Each structure stands twice: as C-alpha cells, then as structure tokens.
Amino acid sequence: MSTADIFAESGHDDLLLPFQVDPFGLRGRMVRLNSAAHTILDRHGYPEPVSKLLGEVMTITVCLAGALKYEGVFSLQIKGDGPIRTMVADFTSDGHLRGYAAFDEDAVKQAAENGEATVPRMIGGGYIAFTVDQGTDTERYQGIVPLAGQTLAECTHEYFRQSEQLETGINVAVRKDEFGIWRAGALMLQRMPLDGGEAPEPGKARTVHDMDAYEDAWRTAMVMLSSASPDEIAGTRVAPDRLLFRLFHENGIRAYPAQPVMERCRCSKDRVESVLTSLSDEEIRDMTVDGLVFVVCEFCKSRWEYDEAGMEKLRAGTDN
C-alpha cells in the first residue's frame, strides 16, 4: 500500500477543528496533521527525536493559531543551547504549514542514547517565541517566555500562565504508525475568564455553588482531555468528531467548521532574488562557492543557483 493510498483511506487527515464545551464555555481546538506532518518530516529526514519534537512544534503552532483572529502568519520559534539549536514552524491564515529544525547531529545522537528525548535534554535552556505577523502595514505581536518544562506541552502551559493568564490544557501526540508514516495531533482546551463565559446566566448573582460548578467543570474537562490516547489523537481509527463526543458529550459540546491544513512553503524565486539584490558585494562574495551562489530554503529544500553572469544580470536589474 502506497503513502497516497494510506492517506486516501484515512479520511480524517490535516484539519483544525474548533469546539466549545458547555455550560461554562471552555474553548478548544483539535488538530490532526497526518499527510502534512509526514510530508514535512519525511522530506527533511531528521533523526527520530528531532522529527518527533518538530512534529510537536508544528501541531502546537496550528493549535495556537486556531485561537486567534488574524490575516497573515502565526509562527512559533524555539531557540536553545542544547543539541537542537532551533525549531521553527509557521501557519498562515490560509491554512499553509511549514517547519524545520537546526541541530548538531552527533550531540542529538548522544543525548538520545543517554535518556528520554525531553526538552532539557534535547533543547536545553532557551526560549519559546510566538509571533503574529499581519503584514508590513501592521504592528507585529510577539510573546516570549523561557523554556520551562520537560515537554513542549508543559512549555506551552507556562507561556499561557505567564503571558496570557489563561488556564490551558494540551495533549499532544506525534508518532510513526505501522507503515512508517508520521502521524501528529493535539487536543487543547482553554478556560475563559468567568466574565466571558456562559455561566452564571447574565444578570444573576454568582454564588458559591456557581463557582464550585465552574471549578468542577474545568477539573473534569482536564481529566477527560488527559484520557485521550496518542492513537486516538494522532491516529485515523477514530474520527475527530467521535473522539470529541466521547470525551465531552456529558457536558455538551459544540463543534464548528473545520479548517483544512496543508503543507506549503512560501519561498519563491522572486523572494530569493529580492534578497540577493539587497546584499552587498562583500556578502555576495562570501556566499560564492566555485563561482556559484547557492540559496537553499530551510523549510522545503528548494534550491536556486546563480553563476557570475547570472548574478551580474540580476544585480543590474535585467531579466534572467
């Protein structure tokens, strides 16, 4: 069975599904990244611990982007002083996802041999940055927090605790299935402040009973969120709507239209040439190897090369 056949049969790949758990308006997103995650991770051919962590970064990126209203690009970047130096993923409002990692292969191998692939072991100390870029005419928003936790899910919790002051739960799963296909998914729930929730009813005084119910609903939702298995979250045997119903139907759940997610890079020949024409002569000389200037996209591995004559024409502003 081919990779294309596997994805065609699954029927539940590559989506961002918003939902709400009643009666206290707990807001959530479910993400499945199967063909998109596999395409990106298989293309790079990273060591398995790196691929798994990058899969988590991409899945969390889509989850967080789903909570925002924006037109542009939402990106998540992790910088560390460990074997994995950088991981980047971004997701556009059109549903386009990409990601890459930079790392020391020998150090990754040694760290993986010495224990579990945790954030401290693989990434070390550093920070996680979330950025919303809506274009040149708008101000970029960025939130930065130190890496704090054994997993990227724990680091995400810490970001929301420090920067957004929102209680957040997230269950992330990234794995290879029996066919060697990368599967990724996540469930995220956030508890909105009581003033923005659906209970108590408007105009009614809040009572101790109201607050007890508010806390109980959150605790129950977190237990149910944690109960979802990696196969349920990232696999294809259980459809997303059926999983959400199993977890939250006793409280009442409403799902909203799903957004398709697709692997797609934003690099282009025009963008590459725009960068090259902005560089100084010295910078161009530093990039030249055996008479050629090479440019390789870190995200999709597309490659462009220019010889001396091609660079002269480009920098002179004439057509190639």
Q: What is the pLDDT of residues 73-105, one digit of tens each?
A: 999 999 999 999 999 999 999 999 999 999 999
User: For residues 261 and 62, is the Cβ–Cβ distance under 8 A?
Assistant: yes
Q: What pLDDT shows up at residue 197?
A: 43
- Is the separation of the CB atoms in 248 and 55 below 8 Å? no
pLDDT at position 32? 96
Residues 6 or more apart from 298 whose CB is under 8 A from it?
A: 100, 102
Neighbours of 16 (CB within 10 A): 22
CA distances (Å), origin 25, targets 21, 159, 196, 210: 6, 21, 8, 14
Per-residue confidence (pLDDT) for residue 195, from 0 to 100: 55
**β-pairing verdict for 96-103 and 262-263:** parallel
Question: Domains of the chain by range and CATH?
Answer: 11-263 (3.55.30.10), 269-315 (3.90.1280.10)
- pLDDT the model gives residue 318: 53
**Cβ count near 302 (within 10 Å):** 14
Residue with tokens 């191998």: 109
Query: 188-227: string of b/e by CB count within 10 Å (b at 16+)?
Result: bbbbeeeeebebbeeeeeeeeebeeebeebbeebbebbee
- Which two three-digit tokens encode residue 65? 């982007």
pLDDT at 12: 55
Residue 43 CA, chain-centre distance (Å), reads: 17
CB-CB contact of 163 with 143 (8 Å): yes
Residues of the chain falling short of pLDDT 50: 1-11, 196-200, 202-203, 205-206, 208, 320
Q: 248, 21 in Cβ contact below 8 A? A: yes
Strand 126-133 to strand 182-191: parallel, antiparallel, or no bridges (unpaired)? unpaired
Global pTM value: 0.86
Mind listing the pLDDT tens digit for each residue in 171-225? 999 999 888 999 999 999 998 776 544 444 544 544 545 778 888 888 999 999 9
| Cα–Cα dist 87/57, whole Å | 8
